[in-house]
Amino acid sequence: MKTLLQLCAALLLGVLSGAVPAADLPTLRLTIRDGRFHPETLEVPANTKFRLLIKNEGPGPEEFESQILNKEKVLAEGVESFLIFQPLKPGSYPFFGEFHPKTAQGQLLAR
């Protein structure tokens, strides 16, 4: 009975804290190919938590990095991974790739 009460309390705490299961998050896709991000400008929902699914089609490794958002993820060629973003205020948030700094440039546009 004690374990059931603890489980119920944990579930209630999750609901009250506004926790959203990862499966319910809006998911946006970003592809890295030939040292470039596709699309270079990615429109994301403002004021909404979301998941960014990133796939590196290569050749070679690349990184998604945004200093303003304090996010970075290095992906080997052929790897797919994701980042979770807390709600962003409307605006533009630049990101880049350190392996191809001249061409791997992009922005998240929160609207």
Instruction: Read off the pLDDT of residues 11-56 as tens digits, 9 standing for 90 and up.
Output: 545 544 455 455 689 999 999 999 999 999 999 999 999 999 999 9
Q: Which run of H or E residues covers position 93?
A: strand 91-96
What was the pLDDT predicted at 93?
98
Span of 10-14, 59-63, 76-80, 106-110 with lowest mean pLDDT: 10-14
Does the structural domain 19-110 have CATH classification 2.60.40.420? Answer: yes
Q: How confident is the model at residue 8 (pLDDT cuts 50, 70, 90)?
A: very low
Angle at 74 between CA 73 and CA 75, to 5 degrees: 115
What was the pLDDT predicted at 110?
98
Query: CA nearest 49: which of 91, 88, 101, 86?
Result: 86
What was the pLDDT predicted at 24?
86
Angle at 26 between CA 25 and CA 32, to 5 degrees: 115
Q: What is the mean pLDDT of residues 74-94?
A: 98
Query: CA nearest 10: which of 108, 37, 19, 1?
Result: 19
What's the pTM? 0.78
Residues 6+ positions from 3 with CB-CB distance below 8 Å: none
Q: What is the mean pLDDT of residues 57-82?
A: 97
Q: Where are the domains of the chain?
A: 19-110
Across the chain, mean pLDDT equals: 88
